[in-house]
Amino acid sequence: MHATTDPATITAPLPSKPRSDSAMVALYSAALGPVHLSRYLPVFARFDEAGRTTTSWNWAASLCTLNWMVFRQLWGAALVYVAAAEGLALLVFGVGRPLLQWPQAVEWGVVGAFFLLGCAVPGLYGNALLHADTHKKITRALTATHTLKETCALLARQASSWKRLAWLAAGNLSLALAAAGAYLAIPSTAAQQGTDPAMPAAPMRPAPAAPAEPATTPTLPTASEPTATDSPATTDAAAQTQHSAQEAAAVAPPSSAAPTERASRPAVPAKRPSPSQAKALAPGTTTSSPAAATSAADNNALPPVGTAPGYYINVGLFADEANARKAQARLLNEGLPAFRQEVFPGKKRRLRVRVGPYSDGADAEAAATTIRSMALEAVVIRLAP
């Protein structure tokens, strides 16, 4: 009986550190995916060894910040980044230029400062942000599964992949082509409007009209001076001819009336751009890949950590995060669904390590026996639905 309580016999079957690390490496590998996995595993191991995250440089997060956040499914950080960019545009073009009358040098200075901060801050804290998000995904997956193999399979389905990277590259290429098309369409539209006959380039003065030559009418003999040889028929024909000439002169417009009439015509309104040109000038919209929507739906479908009904096993309450992670790694290495929860007893932050849930109390008691054999506490509790 005394041999079972000997510390030497208790610590002998405990898993070694490489085995515990192998469990965390397997979970990290499944959650991160195959893209640049070798770059993140040493950084995450250093964070776990120190028990906290520190600053480290990430080129992808610095130079391609928004694309990197979308690829790694950091949706909250991506929304904050886009909101900051829109706020800068509103500050410069909505407040600084019309209200404060900022000079162009000040505007460029504000934009340059935002660009430097937008590259430096994600580059320094991108790994820490991804580390925290990866731990949240692992905790949710452990709550929804019962074995380490099932957890890795669930994380692998939600992880970023090469196919997702190809979709993201295709979206960036489409946006670049749309922007280039809009840039090329704007000058051609302006040239067409400049050469349109309805919109003259410069007003032209009308040329002075040549003086109109007086209309000559044939000299006809008047009826008041009839000759002795004129007959009544000849006098009537001459009167009709003179009357016809006067009517023709009254009806015919003068030669100078044409420029006046042309100048008095209203100008034809400018042509509106065609639907194809308006579509080319419209800015492109960002599209999200189907894989991103599927991953977001899977994350939302998972229940919160430790809230599913069933039997749980309280293992311990830790003040040091590094000790809590090591205890969780030992339990995961034995195939137990261990997870961590933040609690605040007495307004102090503590990390509680639990195992579960189990649908049957007998399974929970068997798991508690295994945990006690590892020299850890094991208290079975039940959460009612």
CB 335 within 8 A of CB 324: no
Specify if 42 maps to a domain. Answer: yes
107, 142, 160 - which closes a domain = 160
Residues 98 and 119 in one domain: yes
Specify if 204 maps to a domain. Answer: no
> What percentage of the chain reaches a pLDDT higher than 90?
25
Residues 87 and 127 in one domain: yes
Specify if 215 maps to a domain. Answer: no
- For the stretch 55-73, pLDDT in tens is 999 999 999 999 999 999 9
Determine the Cα–Cα distance for residues 158 and 32; give it in Å rounded to an integer. 9
Q: Supply the CATH number for residue 324's domain.
A: 3.30.70.1070
Residues 64 and 176 in one domain: no
159 pLDDT above the threshold of 60 = yes
* Residue 368: burial class (beta carbons within 10 Å; 0-12, 13-18, 19+): buried
Counting the structural domains of the chain, the total is 3
Place of tokens 């407040």: 95
Residues 149 and 129 in one domain: yes
Residues 72 and 179 in one domain: no
Specify if 98 maps to a domain. Answer: yes
Residues 183 and 323 in one domain: no
Specify if 180 maps to a domain. Answer: yes
- For the stretch 287-326, pLDDT in tens is 444 444 445 444 455 566 677 888 888 888 888 888 888 8
Residues 57 and 17 in one domain: yes
Residues 78 and 144 in one domain: yes
Determine the Cα–Cα distance for residues 70 and 64; give it in Å rounded to an integer. 10
Structural domain including 189 reads 170-196+280-302
Specify if 274 maps to a domain. Answer: no
* Overall pTM > 0.85: no
Specify if 226 maps to a domain. Answer: no
Residues 190 and 85 in one domain: no
302, 335, 369 - which closes a domain = 302
- HEC profile for the chain? CCHHHCHHHHHCCCCCHHHHHHHHHHHHHHHHCCCCHHHHHHHHHHHHHHCCCCCCCCHHHHHCHHHHHHHCCCHHHHHHHHHHHHHHHHHHHHHHCCCCCCCHHHHHHHHHHHHHHHHHHHHHHHHHHHHHHHHHHHHHHHHHCCCHHHHHHHHHHHCCCHHHHHHHHHHHHHHHHHHHHHHHHHHHHHHHHHHCCCCCCCCCCCCCCCCCCCCCCCCCCCCCCCCCCCCHHHHHHHHHHHHHHHHHHHHCCCCCHHHHHHHCCCCCCCCCCCHHHHHHHCCCCCCCCHHHHHHHHHHHHCCCCCCCCEEEEEEEEECCHHHHHHHHHHHHHCCCCEEEEEECHHHCCEEEEEEEEECCHHHHHHHHHHHHCCCCCCEEEEECC
Residues 44 and 85 in one domain: yes
CB 90 within 8 A of CB 100: no
- If pLDDT is split at 50, 70 and 90, which confidence band does 86 have? confident
Specify if 261 maps to a domain. Answer: no
Residues 71 and 84 in one domain: yes
Residues 152 and 190 in one domain: no
160, 179, 213 - which closes a domain = 160
pLDDT of residue 225: 42
- For the stretch 142-158, pLDDT in tens is 888 888 889 999 999 99
16 pLDDT above the threshold of 70 = no
More confident residue, 231 or 384: 384
Determine the Cα–Cα distance for residues 282 and 286; give it in Å rounded to an integer. 13
CB atoms inside a 10 Å sphere around CB 32: 22
Question: Cα torsion at 73, 75, 77, 82 (round to 10°)?
Answer: 120
Q: Across the chain, what does the average pLDDT equal?
A: 73
- For the stretch 216-271, pLDDT in tens is 444 444 444 444 444 444 445 555 555 555 554 444 444 444 444 444 454 444 45
C-alpha distances out from residue 249 to 162, 214, 253, 256, 261, Å: 90, 10, 8, 15, 20
pLDDT of residue 360: 85
